[in-house]
């Protein structure tokens, strides 16, 4: 039990630190009257949506940190500026810059050398396609379900000049109690997930029957199942098979799509759900994770169907 406690702390403390910075940082921006100015930089992206201006400023922050950006949404929700539907769409939009970051931190330095230009390039394309689908889905949903929200930072805060020290002090006093509540929920949720993982709860997601159904080589079973547990491990095992000719490019792509379709829900339960629940609460947090993960799985399913049609 002590070991589990230290595992949870080791995993959760850096994330909680980012959440704290996001909450306080957002509040400081509000106190200084800078949030509205930031939102104008992202306005071209949001010009064709019905998302409020406050979502644009959060999206800009998500380029550097998704956690900090979602903390900004929480702040706006607490201020009464965003309702649940707007928060859901804005949070999904905030997840898209991560795909661009991973292109330079994961795809190019790790995936391309391991899988080669053809399969590695295909895998990078899947990531970009997922981001594009999410953006299009948010744009469409905002047009269908939102009437438009011009909520902005109150003009009194924008016009009033507040010293940085005063802004930080006010932000800390206002957000510390909220952070304690978020930290408690996140630690509990993470502990439950780690406990279930140690008891093998996630091992029920077996891919062996599907591997036989899709007629991929028996030797690809190991990288396929490894990918579900760890994408980097699965890619590392799949790479030599591609380079040696033990598996074709098309079969390797099918393995990647199968593995990621099973990996994404597990990753969402293990990593994304505790974060979103801690920030947005159980109901809204679960909805954000479900919709975002569902779209990611849908992209892979559609691509898998296309690959299977080519293989038949």
pLDDT of amino acid 212: 62
Question: Tokens 């949870």 map to which residue?
Answer: 8
Tens of pLDDT along 5-28?
777 788 778 878 877 877 777 677
Classify residue 175: in a domain, yes or no.
no
Q: How confident is the model at residue 153 (pLDDT cuts 50, 70, 90)?
A: very low
Classify residue 122: in a domain, yes or no.
no
Classify residue 223: in a domain, yes or no.
yes
- In 3D, which of 96, 99, 83 has the Cα closest to residue 50? 83
CB atoms within 10 A of CB 109: 10
Classify residue 73: in a domain, yes or no.
no
Domain count, the chain: 1
Classify residue 308: in a domain, yes or no.
yes
Asked if 26 contacts 67 with a C-beta cutoff of 8 angstroms, the reply is no
Tens of pLDDT along 52-77?
877 887 888 787 778 888 888 888 88
- Tell me the average pLDDT across 237-266: 86
- Tell me the residue range of the domain where 258 lies: 202-312
Distance from CA of residue 277 to its chain's centroid?
13
Q: How confident is the model at residue 43 (pLDDT cuts 50, 70, 90)?
A: low
Classify residue 261: in a domain, yes or no.
yes
Classify residue 240: in a domain, yes or no.
yes
pLDDT of amino acid 49: 85
- In 3D, which of 221, 211, 220, 243 has the Cα closest to residue 112? 243
Classify residue 254: in a domain, yes or no.
yes
Is 154 a residue whose pLDDT tops 50? no
pLDDT of amino acid 40: 60
The structure's pTM equals: 0.77
Is 173 a residue whose pLDDT tops 90? no
- Residue 104, exposed/middle/buried by CB under 10 A (0-12, 13-18, 19+)? exposed
């Amino acid at each position: 039990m002590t070991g589990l406690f230290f595992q949870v702390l080791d995993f959760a403390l850096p994330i909680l630190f980012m959440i704290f910075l996001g909450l306080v940082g957002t509040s400081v921006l509000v106190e200084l009257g800078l949030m509205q100015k930031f939102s104008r930089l992202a306005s071209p992206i949001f010009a064709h949506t019905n998302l409020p201006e406050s979502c644009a400023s959060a999206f800009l922050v998500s380029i550097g940190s998704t956690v900090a950006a979602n903390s900004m949404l929480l702040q706006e929700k607490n201020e009464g500026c965003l309702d649940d539907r707007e928060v859901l769409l804005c949070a999904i939009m905030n997840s898209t810059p991560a795909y661009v970051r991973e292109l330079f931190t994961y795809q190019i330095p790790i995936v391309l050398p391991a899988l080669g230009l053809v399969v590695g390039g295909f895998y990078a394309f899947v990531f970009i396609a997922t981001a594009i689908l999410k953006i299009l889905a948010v744009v469409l949903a905002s047009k269908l379900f939102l009437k438009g929200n011009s909520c902005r930072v109150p003009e009194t805060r924008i016009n009033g000049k507040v010293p940085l020290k005063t802004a930080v002090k006010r932000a800390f006093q206002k957000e510390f109690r909220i952070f304690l509540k978020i930290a408690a929920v996140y630690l509990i949720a993470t502990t439950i997930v780690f406990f279930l993982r140690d008891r093998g709860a996630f091992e029920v997601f077996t891919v062996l029957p599907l591997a036989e159904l899709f007629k991929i080589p028996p030797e690809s079973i190991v990288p396929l199942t490894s990918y579900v547990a760890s994408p980097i491990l699965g890619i590392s095992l799949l790479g030599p098979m591609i380079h040696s000719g033990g598996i074709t490019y098309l079969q390797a792509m099918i393995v990647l799509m199968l593995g990621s379709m099973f990996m994404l829900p597990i990753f969402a339960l293990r990593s994304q759900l505790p974060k979103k629940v801690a920030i947005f609460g159980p109901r809204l947090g679960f909805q954000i994770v479900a919709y975002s993960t569902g779209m990611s799985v849908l992209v892979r399913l559609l691509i898998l169907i296309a690959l299977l049609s080519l293989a038949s």
